Amino acid sequence: MMDDTTQREPSLLPHDDTRGSSMSQVSKRNLYYLGPQGSFTHQAAVAASRALAGLSNEIIPVTQTTIPQIMAHVRDGDGWGVIAWENNVEGYVVPNLDMMIDADDVVGFAHVGVDVAFDAFVPNGSLERGVVPHEATAHPHGLAQCQRFIAQRHLSLMPATSNAAACRDVRDGQVALGPSICGELYHLDTLGHDVQDYHGARTEFLVLARRDDAPDLIAKAKADGRTEFETIISFIPLSTGPGVLANLLDVLRDAGINMTSFISRPIKGHAGTYSFVAAVDAAPWQPHFRHVLTEVVEHGDWVKTLAVYPRRERPNPPVNEWMLPQGGVCFTAETIPPAWDGTPEAARELLW
Amino acid sequence: MMDDTTQREPSLLPHDDTRGSSMSQVSKRNLYYLGPQGSFTHQAAVAASRALAGLSNEIIPVTQTTIPQIMAHVRDGDGWGVIAWENNVEGYVVPNLDMMIDADDVVGFAHVGVDVAFDAFVPNGSLERGVVPHEATAHPHGLAQCQRFIAQRHLSLMPATSNAAACRDVRDGQVALGPSICGELYHLDTLGHDVQDYHGARTEFLVLARRDDAPDLIAKAKADGRTEFETIISFIPLSTGPGVLANLLDVLRDAGINMTSFISRPIKGHAGTYSFVAAVDAAPWQPHFRHVLTEVVEHGDWVKTLAVYPRRERPNPPVNEWMLPQGGVCFTAETIPPAWDGTPEAARELLW
């Protein structure tokens, strides 16, 4: 369960697949996502409802029009939610991150990833009727992400409010560009798979539950054989100035905890104040990480766990010279020239 | 010069305002920005061309269709560029940040901010002709950001590929929503100012020059009386694992250097590898910061300065309890209960 493989051809009715789990199950569970139907988040909801099938007999993706509506449903114990968290090209989905920092009663307990891949759709039977498309329709971002396909077919552009709306409303003579889920959802014919210019973009989503339900959900993941977890944690040092962050990270280092991502954010509505969000390879109940959290709280800082979920397989390659960006300054002990800091190259790269 | 005030009613022809500077000036300078004309980035380019008027007799905003085109012009010494860097709601513009990390010969030397504010435009003379608008047109993001205005006037939605295109192509019966610059640019009548739902969104832009030209530009800013600078710096530790970031930040702390923002990014194309980008209140030529950079390089890490620009006025308030997000755990030395770490509240907020 809770794998993060992409669901290329999702079934819109999640499997009733309990995979031999002996856990007692809630019979039905709503999973709220940001619509419209046919969005990448819908695709993530379908992927999550499959991945989490061991936790409920039936997980039903339910569309919402705003993230606060999703948060309210989850907080009220009225189901789970799924929100976009991070994209490997665009970075964190910062408004959702800010909302999770400030959410009183909502926590992430699972994780799914979806490839940002576009299929090209035409109305059902359109090709058999001999219709030749002359226009591409999608959200402007979708149009921008499929420029090569559009140019090859000499299509003109028709922007839509969303990729899903473009697919839903596609007419003869148009090609709608959207997530693969739209084909099944709107009974469209698929003209092409993966027609986006850039391959490899991926969005990671968090699955949310009421905070009080999280321990039970985590226990089920453990019972299902998951032993390693990741945690997303938020800190606010109440002091400011040089060193507050260094002092905080020293505590993590001294405990041997590996961070996999880190970001600072202004506290909502208070420019010049900062919260920090870190993803770490540890679970809060592990003694070494619990010790860190205790120490940070007793130092007077504000701390909150935003999510705990089974660890994803991630590469962890060493950084080699050929991976480094262009420019910059970098020497090994063997290659460092004498008086390197007086060279024009150092001045150029460091601007000192 | 180089202030970051918003240009609400920009002149499209920048002032020839040398403010008594005795610097020798290049007579003309292209300033490349991401189009279309009438985008928020165009507005930033106009603001920058005013703020930097002391550096050139004439700064001419020139539209480009991609960021790589802008970078190429700057690298070739063919003018300056302006790119979006950070938004207070959405966070860093990560693709631009990644591009700057990897740019061999481009560096930021100035900084401008633009409010994300929408004006509502109708075709010139439309109101006098008695036309009542029934439709709102903008990029879907623009439509989403002006929902209250649209609902109050019972307008239907007509998505466009960009706000600027919506303004350029606005017809009788439509209201186009876009940056204030579009009014002058497309000779439109303004139906309302600042019609966006959320006030306070702001995007910060970097102005870019060829790296070899930066020292001269910085010297001119100093000659113009600017004494305090901020630096955006990128680090890549060649080792990985617990503590690499803490060790790096210890060096900054020990030098008394204040960081104002911090983010980790995977090295482009190498999942699981990390670069770090920090904004600090110091200039690389100041001895204490130069010492830090020297120490980090001699430790074997990769270092590059991405931008140096005159310091912005920023608030730096202490964090008070009422500023803290909902939930979480936070005690002062006076309020900390005995055995707090065994309480259900601690378990709930920290998930241990």
Please report the pLDDT score of residue B332 as a whole number. 85
Residues B317 and A275: their CA atoms lie apart, in Å, by: 13
* Residues forming CATH 3.40.190.10 domain(s) in chain A: 21-115+201-223, 119-192
Looking at residues A153-174, what average pLDDT do you find?
Answer: 95
Do residues B119 and B320 make contact, with C-beta atoms less than 8 angstroms apart?
Answer: no
Average pLDDT over residues B142-163: 95
Neighbours of A225 (CB within 10 A): 8
Give the Cα separation of B204 and B342 in Å (integer): 45
Which residues belong to CATH 3.30.70.260 in chain B? Answer: 229-310
Backbone dihedral region of A327: left (phi > 0), alpha (psi from -120 to 50 degrees) or beta? left
**How distant, in Å, are the alpha carbons of A25, A52, A224, B96 from that of A16?**
11, 10, 17, 44
Q: Which residue pairs, CB below 8 angstroms and at least 24 apart, start in B89-93?
A: B89/A94, B89/A95, B89/B116, B89/B198, B89/B201, B90/A94, B90/A95, B91/A91, B91/A92, B91/A94, B91/A97, B91/A263, B91/A265, B92/A91, B92/B263, B92/B277
- Residue A278, φ and ψ in degrees, nearest 5: -125, 145
Query: What chain A residue is nearest to B337 in terms of C-alpha separation?
Result: A298
Q: What mean pLDDT is predicted for residues B119-143?
A: 95
Q: Is the pLDDT of residue A247 over 90?
A: no
Is the previous residue joined to B310 through a cis bond, with omega within 30 degrees of 0?
A: no
C-alpha neighbours within 13 Å on the C-beta side of residue A227: 1
**Contacts (Cβ under 8 Å, ≥6 apart) of B225:** none
* Pairwise CB contact (< 8 Å): A351 & B308: yes
Percent pLDDT > 90 in chain B is 69
**Partner-chain residue, chosen from B91, B293, B347, that has the shortest CB–CB distance to A350:** B293
* Residues B262, A275: C-beta atoms closer than 8 Å: no
- What CATH code would you report for A21-115+201-223? 3.40.190.10
Closest in A211, A273, A348 to B323, CB measured: A273
Q: Which amino acid is at A140?
A: P
Nearest in space to B299 (alpha carbons), one of B241, B247, B246: B247
Q: Evaluate if residue B7 carries a pLDDT over 50.
A: no
Selection from B339, B229, B349, B336 nearest residue B280 by Cα = B229
**Nearest to A231, CA basis, from A280, A287, A277:** A280
d(CA A138, CA A118): 10
Reference B306, options B109, B111, B81, B92; nearest CA is B109
Q: Give the gap in angstroms from C-alpha A327 to the nearest C-alpha of chain B.
A: 5
Overall average pLDDT of the B254-259 stretch = 90
Report the distance separating Cα A178 and Cα B159, nearest Å. Answer: 16
Residue appearing with tokens 């550096």: B55
User: How far is A274 from A235, CA to CA, in rounded Å?
Assistant: 9
Determine whether the interchain pair B212/A329 forms a contact, defined as Cβ–Cβ distance below 8 Å: no
- In terms of CA atoms, which chain A residue is nearest residue B312? A272
**Best A319, A320, A321, A326 residue to mutate vs chain B (most B CBs within 10 Å):** A319
Which token pair is B249? 């930040």
Is the pLDDT score of B8 beyond 70?
A: no
Does the domain spanning A229-310 belong to CATH 3.30.70.260? yes
What pLDDT score does A25 carry?
Answer: 54
Residues 6+ apart with CB under 8 A from A172: A122, A123, A126, A129, A131
Residues in chain B with CB shorter than 8 Å from the CB of A265 are 91
What tens digit of pLDDT does each residue of A183-199 get? 999 999 999 999 999 99
A262/B245 Cβ within 8 A: yes
Alpha carbon of A130: minimum distance to chain B alpha carbons (Å)? 29
Report DSSP letters for A124-185, one per residue: TTTTTTTPPP-EEEE-HHHHHHTHHHHHHTT-EEEE-S-HHHHHHT--TTEEEEE-THHHHH
Q: Which residues of A touch B314 (CB under 8 A)?
A: 271-272
Do the beta carbons of residue B137 and residue B188 sit within 8 Å? no
* Closest CB from A88, A294, A336 relative to B298: A336
The stretch A230-244 carries a mean pLDDT of 86
ipTM: 0.85
- Residue B159 to residue A160, Cβ atoms within 8 A: yes
In chain A, residues 301-330 whose CB comes closer than 8 Å to chain B? 301-305, 308, 314-319, 323-330
CATH architecture of A119-192: 3-Layer(aba) Sandwich (3.40)
Query: CB-based contact (8 Å) between A335 and chain B?
Result: no
pTM here is 0.87
Per-window interface: A 43-82 vs B, CB < 8 A: none
Nearest CA in chain B to A234: B328
Q: Is pLDDT of A17 > 60?
A: no
Cβ count near B174 (within 10 Å): 24
Q: d(Cα A167, Cα B57) in Å, to the nearest integer?
A: 51
> Quick check: bond before A36 cis, omega within 30?
yes
pLDDT at position B213 over 50: yes
Report pLDDT for B269.
75
Mean pLDDT of B148-152: 96
Q: Which residues of A touch B102 (CB under 8 A)?
A: 325-326
Predicted confidence at residue A244, as pLDDT, reads 80
When CB atoms are compared, the residue of A240, A297, A315 closest to B331 is A297
Question: Measured on CA atoms in the order B319, B320, B321, B325, is the torsion positive or negative?
Answer: negative
The DSSP line for A230-292 is: EEEEEEE-SS-STTHHHHHHHHHHHTTPPEEEEEEEEETTEEEEEEEEEEESS-TTSHHHHHH
pLDDT-above-70 percentage for chain A? 93
C-alpha B36/C-alpha B34 separation (Å) is 7
Contact assignment for A88 to B271 by CB distance below 8 Å: yes
* Percentage of chain A exceeding pLDDT 90: 69
Residue B163 at interface with chain A, using a CB cutoff of 8 Å: no
Considering only A45-54, A245-254, B76-85, B148-157, which range has the smallest mean pLDDT? A245-254
E strand spans, A14-90: 26-34, 56-64, 80-87
* A241 at B interface, C-beta within 8 A: yes
Round to whole Å and give the CA distance between A225 and A221: 7
> In what side-by-side order are the strands of the sheet with B135-138?
B156-159, B135-138, B174-178, B119-122, B189-192
CB contact under 8 A, A258 and B271: no
Q: Which of residues 91-130 of B touch A (CB under 8 A)?
A: 91-92, 94-95, 97, 101-105, 107
Alpha-carbon span B142 to B145, nearest angstrom: 5
**Residue B302 and residue A330: Cβ atoms within 8 Å?**
yes
Q: Are A137 and A176 in contact (CB under 8 A)?
A: yes
Locate the chain A residue with the closest alpha carbon to B232: A350
Contact A48, A181 (CB under 8 A): no
Q: Please tell me which of the candidates B107, B211, B290 has its beta carbon nearest to residue A352.
A: B290
The verdict on a CB contact (< 8 Å) between A262 and B263 is yes
What count of other Cβ atoms lies within 10 Å of the Cβ of residue A247?
18
- Cβ contacts (< 8 Å) between B316 and chain A: which residues? 240, 272
Q: Which two tokens stand for residue A169?
A: 């409303």
Distance CA B186, CA B8 (A): 16
Judged by CB atoms closer than 8 Å, whether chains meet at A270 and B323 is answered as yes
Please name the residue of chain A whose CA is at the shortest distance from the CA of residue B241. Answer: A258
pLDDT digits (tens, 9 = 90+) for B97-115: 999 999 989 999 999 999 9
CA atoms of A194 and A318, how far apart (whole Å): 31
Pick among A148, A244, A247, A352 to test the B interface (most B CBs inside 10 A):
A352
Task: For residue B147, report the phi and psi dihedrals to the nearest 5 degrees.
Answer: -65, -35
- Which of A92, A246, A290 lies nearest to residue B352, judging by beta carbons? A290
Task: Assign B10 a pLDDT band (cuts: 50, 70, 90).
Answer: very low
| B255 contacts: CB under 8 Å, gap ≥ 6 | A242, B288, B289, B291, B292
Distance from the Cα of residue B177 to its chain's centroid: 21
CA angle B235, B241, B242 (to 5 degrees): 95
| Closest by Cβ to B319, choosing from A255, A273, A297 | A273
Indicate if the pLDDT at residue A343 is higher than 60: yes
Q: Is the dihedral of CA A304, A245, A347, B52 positive or negative?
A: positive
Residue-level pLDDT at B26:
58
Mean pLDDT, chain B, as a whole number? Answer: 88
The number of CA neighbours under 13 Å toward the Cβ of B306 is 24
Most confident segment among A247-256, A288-297, B237-246: A288-297
**A&B contacts, CB < 8 Å:** 299
> CA A268, CA B323: separation in Å to the nearest integer?
8
Contact: B350, A284; criterion CB under 8 Å:
yes
Question: Which pLDDT does position A47 carry in this prediction?
Answer: 96
Q: What is the mean pLDDT of residues B254-270?
A: 87
Confidence band, pLDDT 50/70/90 cuts, at residue B242 = confident
Nearest residue, CB atoms, A329 vs list B160, B297, B340: B297
Residue ranges of B 276-305 with Cβ closer than 8 A to chain A: 276, 284-285, 289-290, 293-294, 297-298, 300-305
Beta strands in chain B (DSSP E): 26-34, 56-64, 80-87, 91-92, 106-115, 119-122, 135-138, 156-159, 174-178, 189-192, 202-210, 229-236, 259-267, 270-280, 302-310
Alpha-carbon distance B13 to nearest alpha carbon in chain A (angstroms): 30
- A56–chain B nearest CA distance, Å: 22
Mean pLDDT (whole number) for B258-276: 85
Among A164-168, B24-28, B232-236, name the one with the lowest average pLDDT: B24-28
Q: How far from chain centre, in Å, is Cα A315?
A: 17
Phi, psi of B254 (to 5 degrees): -65, -25
Q: Please, what sign has the CA dihedral across residues B339, B341, B342, B346?
A: positive
Residues of A in contact with B315 (CB under 8 A): 271-272
